[in-house]
């Protein structure tokens, strides 16, 4: 029942910024329901909803205080049910975020756990004694800066938090915690969702002995964040995580549901493959391998694909999400043609593809002034951070409407970038040259082609900066050519090749094609 995942295109909704239905300046579930038709019109197979659960919003929903309730900011359980129903009516599967490596410090589980060392949930979080001098148990550093341990006076112990101090790490090696998390999964599966996106899945379990991470000895200068000084051998990617994943997979199989894991690791592709290698692992996983690239080269793609040769698992790929600089800015210098080229490349790769809201419009990364920042990471590392708020600004729906049709409020929780207004959905509808039209065309081509959806990836020899590969399935062959440089290049073409998609300039001639700078061509062989 999860065959739909192979070659699927999954659209990420960041609910806070997708559509506000009640005029408070913050997106909500009813607003998302209003705009599901737009996602269906793209040809997507599924939606992934970022967290909408009850939360104090220290990390904007990734600090959950109740896994089985909807935060009033976003609506109600009834709204969640209505969204699932409407998505299914439109042929869209529904994947929801699950943040199981940590909870909010306001979760009832943590309130009980921190109360004493001998209560029923005393071992539900990662607690450790101080060293004899009172310092933290080891040298682990938090992703958002500073020590990964915070002292709790009630227990007179430190608790672990890989992110904010308000996000204590659950002790997922504890079978009782696993049981509770599986109960959470059942709650949502019984409501009809089709799968889960597991936040930082390889952070679920840490080294039982809490050994120090070794330093990176090859650094040429100090990195911007303390955790980047270390090799993360002991605070993530432990073998016990896979045992819990096996339990989760068994539950998912009972429902015909799926799970995609988010991997954050210094060897991302290796861990992606490990976490999807077999019927007791995740159905698919993605990492920050492509999300953090600042320039696209043929080697990046061919090396990534080579690591999946012969794999039993299924990869996923994305170029943008709520945590990184949007890909039109990061990989295409905000150039419309290069943006189309990058999207076509993503949708030509073997694996599931994730689109982030606004990718279909070619939105550049938004400029958010310091005084309007909300993201704790952006504030902590300003001005050198990645600026996650710039990826989270309101989705522009109507060019001439207040806040581009996102909200009826005078302003939104984050400011609208003026550049986004001209790229609103209604401004691009009906324009055959628009990014929106191109996205629909490319997704339709992928859906029509078994080779693009699930075929083999065959890398072809080509001089830099040309990326050339074939996708093959059931006798169908699709040749994919991408000129990733600014100068025209001549490439041979087999006789009888039939053009399926042109990106930019492609001039066919006897025996070949001249690809303009930052242009591409997909042809059936």
431-470: pLDDT as tens digits: 999 999 999 999 999 999 999 999 999 999 999 999 999 9
pLDDT at 386 over 70: no
Contacts of 13 (CB under 8 A, 6+ apart): 32, 39, 47, 48, 49, 50, 357
Inform me whether the pLDDT recorded for 257 exceeds 90. yes
Per-residue tokens: 65: 């205080």
Task: Count the neighbouring beta carbons within 10 Å of the beta carbon of residue 271.
Answer: 20
Tell whether 318 and 339 lie within a shared domain: yes
Residue 387 CA to its chain's centroid (Å):
16
User: Annotated catalytic residue: which of 45, 264, 265, 323?
Assistant: 264
- 199 as an active site residue: the answer is yes
Per-residue pLDDT, 511: 82
* Residue 133, both tokens: 């001098």
pLDDT above 90 covers a percentage of the chain that reads: 94
Please say if the pLDDT value at position 362 is more than 70: yes
Domain end, chosen from 386, 410, 443, is at 443
Diameter over CA atoms, the chain: 80
Mean pLDDT score across all residues of the chain:
96
Q: Residue 1: pLDDT above 80?
A: no
Cα–Cα distances in angstroms (integers) from residue 207 to residues 119, 136, 491, in the given order: 23, 15, 52
Residue 377 has pLDDT above 90, yes or no: no
Cα separation, 190 vs 202, in Å, equals 26
Closest CA to 364 of 403, 338, 390: 390
pLDDT digits (tens, 9 = 90+) for 280-332: 999 999 999 999 999 999 999 999 999 999 999 999 999 999 999 999 999 99
Structure tokens at 306: 């080579």
* pLDDT tens-place string over residues 118-163: 999 999 999 999 999 999 999 999 999 899 999 999 999 999 999 9
Q: What is the mean pLDDT of residues 332-355?
A: 98
Q: Which of 416, 443, 470 is the last residue of a domain?
A: 443
Predicted confidence at residue 71, as pLDDT, reads 98
Q: Please identify which of the residues 79, 97, 105, 199 carries the catalytic annotation.
A: 199
| Domain count for the chain | 2
pLDDT band at 84 (very low <50, low <70, confident <90, very high): very high
392 in the same domain as 300: yes
Which structural domain range is residue 70 located in? 3-103+174-443
Question: Whole-model pTM?
Answer: 0.97
Query: Which CATH number covers residue 29?
Result: 3.20.20.80
β-bridge mates for residue 498, sequence order: 524
What percent of the chain shows pLDDT beyond 70?
100
CB 426 within 8 A of CB 453: no
Q: What pLDDT score was predicted for residue 31?
A: 98
Q: CA 187 → CA 81, 85, 497, distances in Å?
A: 12, 16, 51
Q: How far apart are CA 138 and CA 130, in angstroms?
A: 9
Same domain for 407 and 474? no
Q: Give domain status of residue 490, yes or no.
A: yes
For 149, the 3-state DSSP assignment is: strand
Pair of tokens at residue 13 = 């909704």
Q: Is-contact 202 271, C-beta < 8 A?
A: yes
Which of 399, 415, 443 lies at the terminal end of a domain, its last residue? Answer: 443
Q: Give per-residue pLDDT as tens, 203-244.
A: 999 999 999 999 999 999 998 889 999 999 999 999 999 999
Residues 304 and 281 in one domain: yes
Do 93 and 185 sit in the same domain of this protein?
Answer: yes
The confidence score (pLDDT) of residue 224 equals 84
Concerning whether 470 is annotated as a catalytic residue, the answer is no
pLDDT of residue 387: 76
3-class secondary structure, 32? helix
Residue pair 408/19 in contact (Cβ under 8 Å)? The answer is no
Task: Identify whether residues 429 and 462 lie together within a single domain.
Answer: no
């Amino acid at each position: 029942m999860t065959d739909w995942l192979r070659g699927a295109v999954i659209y990420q909704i960041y609910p806070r910024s997708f559509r506000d239905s009640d005029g408070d300046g913050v997106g909500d579930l009813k607003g998302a329901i209003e705009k599901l038709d737009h996602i269906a019109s793209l040809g997507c197979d599924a939606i992934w909803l970022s967290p909408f659960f009850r939360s104090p919003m220290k990390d904007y929903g990734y600090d959950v205080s109740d896994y089985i309730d909807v935060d009033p900011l976003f609506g109600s359980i009834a709204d969640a049910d209505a969204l699932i129903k409407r998505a299914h009516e439109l042929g869209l599967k529904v994947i929801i975020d699950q943040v199981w490596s940590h909870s909010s410090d306001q979760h009832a589980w943590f309130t009980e756990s921190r109360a004493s060392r001998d209560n029923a949930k005393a071992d539900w979080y990662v607690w450790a004694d101080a060293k004899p001098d009172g310092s933290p148990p080891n040298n682990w550093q938090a992703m958002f800066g500073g020590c990964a341990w915070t002292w709790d006076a009630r227990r007179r112990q430190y608790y672990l938090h890989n992110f904010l101090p308000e996000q204590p790490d659950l002790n997922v090696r504890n079978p009782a915690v696993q049981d509770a998390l599986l109960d959470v999964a059942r709650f949502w599966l019984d409501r009809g969702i089709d799968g889960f996106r597991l936040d930082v899945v390889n952070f679920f379990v840490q080294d039982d002995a809490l050994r120090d991470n070794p330093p990176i000895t090859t650094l040429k200068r100090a990195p911007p964040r303390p955790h980047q000084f270390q090799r993360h051998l002991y605070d993530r990617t432990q073998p016990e995580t896979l045992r819990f994943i096996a339990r989760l997979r068994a539950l998912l199989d009972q429902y015909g549901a799926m799970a995609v894991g988010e991997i954050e690791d210094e060897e991302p592709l290796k861990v992606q493959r490990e976490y999807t290698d077999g019927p007791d692992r995740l159905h698919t996983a993605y990492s920050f391998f492509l999300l953090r690239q600042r320039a696209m080269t043929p080697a990046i793609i061919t090396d990534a694909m080579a690591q999946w040769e012969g794999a039993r698992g299924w990869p996923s790929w994305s170029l943008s999400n709520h945590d990184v600089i949007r890909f039109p800015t990061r990989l295409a210098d905000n150039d419309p043609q290069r943006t189309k080229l990058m999207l076509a490349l993503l949708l030509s790769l073997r694996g599931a593809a994730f689109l982030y809201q606004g990718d279909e419009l070619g939105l550049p990364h938004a400029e958010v002034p310091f005084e309007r920042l909300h993201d704790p990471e952006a504030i902590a590392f300003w001005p050198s951070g990645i600026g996650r708020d710039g990826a989270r600004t309101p989705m522009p729906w109507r060019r001439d409407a207040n806040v581009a049709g996102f909200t009826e409020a005078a302003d939104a929780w984050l400011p609208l970038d003026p550049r986004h207004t001209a790229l609103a959905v209604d401004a691009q509808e009906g324009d055959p040259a628009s990014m929106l039209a191109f996205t629909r065309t490319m997704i339709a081509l992928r859906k029509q082609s078994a080779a693009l959806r699930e075929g083999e990836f065959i890398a072809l020899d080509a001089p830099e900066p040309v990326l050339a590969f074939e996708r093959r399935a059931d006798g169908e062959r699709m040749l994919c050519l991408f000129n990733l440089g600014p100068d025209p290049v001549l490439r041979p073409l087999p006789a009888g090749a039939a053009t399926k998609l042109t990106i930019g300039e492609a001039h066919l001639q006897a025996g070949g094609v001249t690809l303009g700078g930052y242009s591409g061509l997909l042809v059936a062989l």
